[in-house]
Structure 1
Amino acid sequence: MEKEIILEIKNLCKYFPVNKGLFKKPSLVKAVDNVSFSIKKGETLGLVGESGCGKTTTGRTILKLYEPTSGNIIFKGEDITKKSEKEMIPLRREMQMIFQDPYASLNPRMTVGDIIGEAIDIHGLYKGKEREERIKFLLDKVGLNGSHINRYAHEFSGGQRQRIGIARALAVEPDFIVCDEPISALDVSIQAQVINMLEELQEEFGLTYLFIAHDLSMVKHISTHIGVMYLGQLVEKGLSDDVYLKPKHPYTQALLSAVPIPDPQIAKNNNRIVLEGDIPSPIDPEPGCRFKGRCPKAMPICQEKDPVLKEVENGHFVSCHLFD
């Protein structure tokens, strides 16, 4: 049976105005520029790319923490793009976020019970004893003890704080969660534990993830599909194995060549692709492919015409003039 599409993003754009001076026309930072993808229920789309490529902005715009400049956000068949903050409140139950920094995302003045229970109170889900039992149940699910309910965030390690953040996201029984680099601030030894826990929670509760990260090996492990972003645009997307084993875009190939290989013999023979040049500014980008200045395979057409995301194999899409 074909899985239903829970989230569909069509030509999503998020631009931020930048004032250059008193008498100069404001420019635009095109943080997310014409991004389209869909995620089926129970699956995970891993979004990867360099810092500043627009991954986090994409996640926050989908949840309407940022208002989209243009495009469409369709959640469970309903276009939510133009919904007001008041109209979004019921949908907040179904769409949640796990934040990157476990130190900054938890209120130091609130107990763990109040941090997890805040959303429960806002949506009026549980009260009294039931509320306390729900919080203890969630703490147990993320590998913490129910007796921690009255402790404060500063009493926990970084890995434990991130588990609290995950429990908070689960508190209102969501269907879709944006995982915004949930392991990047954690020790390597803890990262695998958190990834495995997210997979177990996904299986148990039927969750759908947008998983944002830098680490391609971790993304491959947890994702059913992978999208690669560069300077606000999606340059490649497809099944996890297809993107990882058969990368098409020169940028994806360079990213994958930089993934550390634990076997020194294999690593010695690895063909590392070193990108020359600097990342161009996202402020009013020039016409043509945004990767042209760093691409080892750039052609004259790359200077003039924007490439379009096109299907080059079954379910494998690439935005590159090499495939015109």
Structure 2
Amino acid sequence: MAENLLEIKDLRKHFNIKNSIFEKKRKILKAVDGISLEIRKGETLGLVGESGCGKTSLGRTIVKLYEPTSGDIIYDGKNLTNLNFQEMKSFRRKIQMIFQDPYASLNPRQTIGDIIKEPMEIHNLYDKNERDKKVLEILELVGLNNTHMSRYPHEFSGGQRQRVGIARALACNPEFIVCDEPISALDVSIQAQIINTLEELQEKLGLTYLFIAHDLSMVKHISDRVGIMYLGKLVELAESDTVYETPLHPYTEALLSAIPIPDPDISLKKERIILEGDIPTPINPSGGCRFKSRCPKAFEKCQIVEPELREVKENHKVACHLYNKV
């Protein structure tokens, strides 16, 4: 088994919010609330969950675009949590991010060549002539060419802009990339091309991915392991095939039942799990299991005690009192 490249221990990211100027007391939004996991060198860990569950906040906290409230981020044996800006700079070469909206994440006043060269300039990589050569190499890697260097982001399609976003992430020769829903804003036909590009780059460059997405079928295709998030918590974590074939957590079962099937005859026969009850808020969530108000299998213990993420089968962890009997 490959060694761990990244370890997250009890990571939390809380935001202070105020709904109006008349409220004196600030509320706390617990976007990421005590997540622990490991990502192995060379693997792709998929992270799925409904909107608002904290997936993007987790990704941004890992790369320290958000400062963690508490917990540890250990990258290749080094704890990044308390590093200052200058100390963190050397690690930013190794840890990069691909953002969800390729248009919003690219500077509209810069050419594509300048966008890709900027990280090299910040980290003093290569001389001026070498940077141009490196940009061409990276553009070819992501399926673009030298004619695109002098163009601006608005001159590209959504898929091409996302390729530019991938190219920028590769500019500093990273080892680990957080892919924050990199295909959700793209047409279905383009999504497959981007996924294939990411897989080819991983094979050529030995990259490690945290792949955040809504599309459960796409996550299964690209991921070695899959984690399921709900309201700031990790509720299930296992090998990709295991999660999709034998899910344990009731929330995972409901998510998988919602995957569309192209064959209408099979789709009509498939049992869909419709979640009822109130959708809880991540602002000061109540005690017990966070899924209790929507869970069809909830019982008395779920109302009082919050379940821990535990290994109930080999390489299969779940946070549910149905399996955590201890």
Q: Which AA in structure 2 matches 1:19?
A: K
Per the alignment, in what secondary structure is the counterpart of residue 311 of structure 2?
strand
Per the alignment, residue 270 of structure 1 pairs with 270
Aligned positions, number: 323
* AA matched with 1:141: L
> Any unmatched runs of 5+ in structure 2?
none
Match of 2:251 in 1: 251
The equivalent of 1:298 in structure 2 is 298
Alignment-derived partner of residue 185 in structure 1: 185
* 3-state SS, counterpart of residue 2 of structure 2: coil
Deviation at 1:265, TM superposition (A): 2.0
| 1:83-116 deviations in Å (ceiling 9; x for gaps) | 1111111111000000000110111100000000
TM-score, normalising length from structure 2? 0.97
Deviation at 1:23, TM superposition (A): 6.5
Q: Which amino acid is 2:2 matched to?
A: K
Q: Per-residue deviation at 1:312?
A: 1.1
SS of the residue 1:211 aligns to: strand
Contact 1:137/1:146, CA 8 A, preserved across alignment: no
Q: Distance in 2 between matches of 1:278 and 1:255?
A: 17
Partners of 1:178 and 1:210 within 8 A in 2 = yes
Separation in 1, partners of 2:163, 2:277:
39
User: Quick check: 1:18 aligned with 2:35?
Assistant: no
What is the distance in 2 between the residues matched to 1:23 and 1:318? 38
Q: Is the 8 A contact 1:4 1:41 kept in 2?
A: yes
Q: Partner amino acid for 2:131?
A: R
Q: AA paired with 1:306?
A: E
| Percent of aligned pairs with the same amino acid | 64
Shift of 1:269: 1.4
Give the alignment's Cα RMSD to 1 decimal: 1.0
Match of 1:152 in 2: 152
**2:162, 2:307 → 1: CA distance?**
39
Whether the 8 Å contact between 1:112 and 1:149 is mirrored in structure 2 is yes
Q: Which runs of 5+ in 1 are unaligned?
A: none
Match of 2:6 in 1: 7
Q: What amino acid is the match of 1:176?
A: F
Distance 1:245 1:103 in 2: 37
Quick one: distance in 1 between partners of 2:94 and 2:258?
36
CA distance in 1 between partners of 2:300 and 2:294 (Å): 14
Is 1:197 the equivalent of 2:197? yes
Whole-Å separation in 2 of the counterparts to 1:283 and 1:127:
49
User: Which SS does the other structure have where 2:322 is aligned?
Assistant: helix
Q: Distance in 2 between matches of 1:307 and 1:275?
A: 20
Structure 1 pair 268/23, CA: closer, same or farther in 2 (3 Å)? closer
Which whole-Å CA distance do the structure 1 matches of 2:264 and 2:117 have between them?
48
Q: Distance in 2 between matches of 1:289 and 1:208?
A: 32
Q: CA deviation at 1:27?
A: 2.0
Please state how far the C-alpha of 1:261 moved relative to its aligned partner: 0.9
Question: Residues of 2 paired with 1:24 and 1:44: CA distance?
Answer: 44
Partner of 2:282: 282
How far, CA to CA, are the matches of 1:85 and 1:52 in structure 2? Answer: 28
Q: Which portions of structure 1, spanning 4 or more consecutive aligned residues, are displaced by more than 6 angstroms?
A: none
Q: How many Å separate the matches in 2 of 1:96 and 1:128? A: 22
Asked if structure 2 preserves the Cα contact closer than 8 Å seen for 1:162 and 1:182, the reply is yes
CA positional deviation for 1:263: 1.8
Deviates more, 1:256-265 or 1:17-26: 17-26
Deviates more, 1:168-177 or 1:268-277: 268-277
- Provide the C-alpha distance between the structure 1 equivalents of 2:2 and 2:307, rounded to a whole number of angstroms: 30
Shift of 1:278: 3.3
The alpha carbon displacement at 1:25 in A equals 3.0
Check whether the contact 1:98–1:177 (CA below 8 A) recurs between aligned residues: yes
Separation in 2, partners of 1:278, 1:165: 38
